[in-house]
Amino acid sequence: MCGRYASSRRPEDLVEEFDIADVRIPAPLEADYNVAPTKEVYAVVERPPSKESEEPPERQLRVLTWGLVPSWAKDPSIGNRMINARMETVAEKPAYKKAFAVRRCLLPADGYFEWYPTEEKTKAGKPRKQPFFIRPKDGGVLAMAGLYEIWRDPTKAEDAEDRFRWTCTVITTEAEDSVGHIHDRMPLMVERDRWSEWLDPRSGGDTGLLVPAAPGMLEAFPVSTLVSNVRNNGPELLEPLPLEDS
């Protein structure tokens, strides 16, 4: 799964990186080195300029909440359990099928965290888990494949500005060999030459879009266990530990 990641790029950096045409964010998010479910995150989407417009979709930068709430959900707390969608079933499951067809997004990240169980035991007798940070070798942005939904809050008035809740999920796939020894799942990466095809809502739910990125693009290194507490947040969480200290 993908349950934590880092996202420190500024909106202006993302606008340039993803060729954004329209910035739809109420205010810039702070750099977040410990992004956890239910937090607000940046997302790149493509949407028509308006409902009535016949113009092609434009690329937008938006702020979404991590944890997808399907449009038909009665209780928005369901989003707490829907932070990941498996690539193998995303086109079929009722919670994701419609979003996969028309509401795909990219979730920009510096990299993501996974925990590897070591032979050392905790006081409770369980394996001590060592966090690793996994990022692109070239230091570039990690464009994670995602889905988003727009949930209408029935308790809000028709003219309430916050009556719609925009939420998202990260699509995961089987981990490639270079990082599979840490965890068997990883975010589905979308390579740059496939961004337009992935984002285009007119292409429908073609499973041919679900293509894992070429292997060998990532590097992993151990980091401080401070990242295990979501209250800790700073660039020091991404600092590599010497192997003998991990």
CATH of the domain at 187: 3.90.1680.10
Q: How many domains does the chain have?
A: 1
Assess if residue 95 is contained within a domain: yes
- Token representation of residue 131: 């966090």
Asked if residue 152 belongs to a domain, the reply is: yes
Of the pLDDT bands very low, low, confident and very high (cuts 50, 70, 90), residue 244 is low
- Helix or strand (DSSP H, E) at 88: none
The mean pLDDT of 19-26, rounded to a whole number, is 96
- What pTM does this model have? 0.94
114 is catalytic: yes
Please indicate, yes or no, if residue 156 is contained in any of the structural domains.
yes
Of the pLDDT bands very low, low, confident and very high (cuts 50, 70, 90), residue 54 is confident
Residue 242 lies in a domain: no
d(CA 179, CA 213): 13
- Average pLDDT score, the chain: 93
124-135 pLDDT, tens digit each:
888 999 999 999
Interatomic CA distance for residues 156 and 163, integer angstroms? 5
Is 120 in the active site? no
**Does residue 77 sit within a domain?**
yes
In a domain, 233, yes or no: no
Flag whether 68 is in a domain.
yes
Distances (CA, A) of 161 to 52, 156, 164: 20, 9, 8
* Burial environment of residue 92 by CB neighbours within 10 A (0 to 12, 13 to 18, 19 or more): exposed
Name the catalytic one among 2, 46, 105, 149.
2
Residue 131 domain flag: no
Q: Give me the count of residues in the chain.
A: 246
Domain range holding 36?
Answer: 5-116+136-219
Catalytic residue of the set 46, 105, 114, 168: 114
